[in-house]
Structure 1
Amino acid sequence: MKLFFFFLLFFSLYVEFSRGQNGRTEVNVGVVTDVGTSYSDVAMLCINMSLADFYSSRPQFQTRLVVNIGDSRNDVLGAAAAALELIKIKKVKAILGPWTSMQAHFLIEIGQKSQVPIVSYSATSPFLTSLRSPYFFRATYEDSSQVNAIKAIIKLFGWREVVPVYIDNTFGEGIMPRLTDALQEINV
C-alpha cells in the first residue's frame, strides 16, 4: 500500500503542473495483475484504499488517477497483451505490476519501446537489474537479498544438508549462485 501511495504521489505531482482548462486532470494508469486471484483482489483493494486516502487528505490536488486493469491471465504472453492494450487503447502513462519476474521481463521491453514506466512491486529476479531500462522501477528487493535470511535460519537449526527448491528457468536460477556461496560459508 505504501508503494502505491508513493506511486500516486509521484504521478499526481508530475501531472499537477499540466492541468486542463477546468483545473481538473485525469491520468490513466494501468495495473497488470492476475484478475480473480486472491492476491489481485487484495492488491486492488489496497490501491483503491490508497487512492481514497490520498485524495481525502489532499483535496487541493486536482489530478485524479484513473486505474485501468489489465488481466495477465497468470501468463507471460497474457501480461504482455494486457500491457499493450493498456498502452495503446487506454493510453496509460504508467503501469504497476506485473506479479512475476518472467512477466516483468517482457513488460520492461514494452515499457522501453513505448516509453511508459513500469513499476514492479514483486518481480525479484536479479537478472532484471541487468536490463537497465530507464522505464523500469523495481520497488522490492531482489531474490539475492533473501540469501542471508535463509543462511541464518539454516544455521540456527544446525542443519548440515539442505535441498534448494526453485523454478528451473533463468529467473528461478538467479538466486542459486549467491545461495550456494552463502551455504558454503557455514559449511552446508
Structure 2
Amino acid sequence: MNSQSGLPADLSRFGNVEGYSHYPKTVTPGLPAPAGGGLLKWYDIAEAATPVTRDTSALAQRFLAAETATGRLKLKGELGFVILHRCGGDFHFLLVSSWRNANEMWETVYAKTSDAPDFSLFPLPGPHRATFCVWELAAVNHERLAFSRYLYSARDEAAKRAYLEDYYEGGA
C-alpha cells in the first residue's frame, strides 16, 4: 500500500478490461411522456450511425403507456426520465426512472430483443447487479444535477417547467 494514497503499489490485477474497444454514442432528447400519473423526460441513446428508429421509439412509448394504464407501473405524480438505449443491433433497454421520497431515483428496467414483439421486464438477478452503463450515465448525471436544482428551488410551477425543459443532448 502507498501510505499517501491508500492505493496498492501494484494495480495490475484491478480494472482490467480486455477484448473491448469503447466507442461514442449520442444522447438525443425527445418529448416528455406522461406515464402512470407522472411526467417523464425522454432520452434516446445510440451510435450516431444507427439511431433509435421511429418504430422502436413508438413501440416503447406504446409499451410505457400500456404499463401505466394497467397499473403495473405507478408513478403517482412523480417527475423523472426515460432512457431508450439502443445497445447495438436490435437490443434495446427502456429505463424508467422517477424521483421519489424527495431525493431518491427509482428505476424500472425493461428490454426488447430483436426477436421479441415488445418490451418486457428485464431480470436483474443477484444482490450486486448492473445499474447504468457509461453512456447512460451522461443523461443520468445531467438529470441528477437538474433535479438538485429543482430541489433547491421554490418547487413551484416555474421550477417544474425549468426542470422539464432542462435536457441533456450530446456525446456519451
The normalised TM-score by structure 2 is 0.24
Q: Which has the larger radius of gyration?
A: 1
Name the one with the larger strand percent. 2
Name the one with the larger helix percent. 1
Structure number with greater CO (CA < 8 Å, separation at least 6) is 2
The normalised TM-score by structure 1 is 0.23
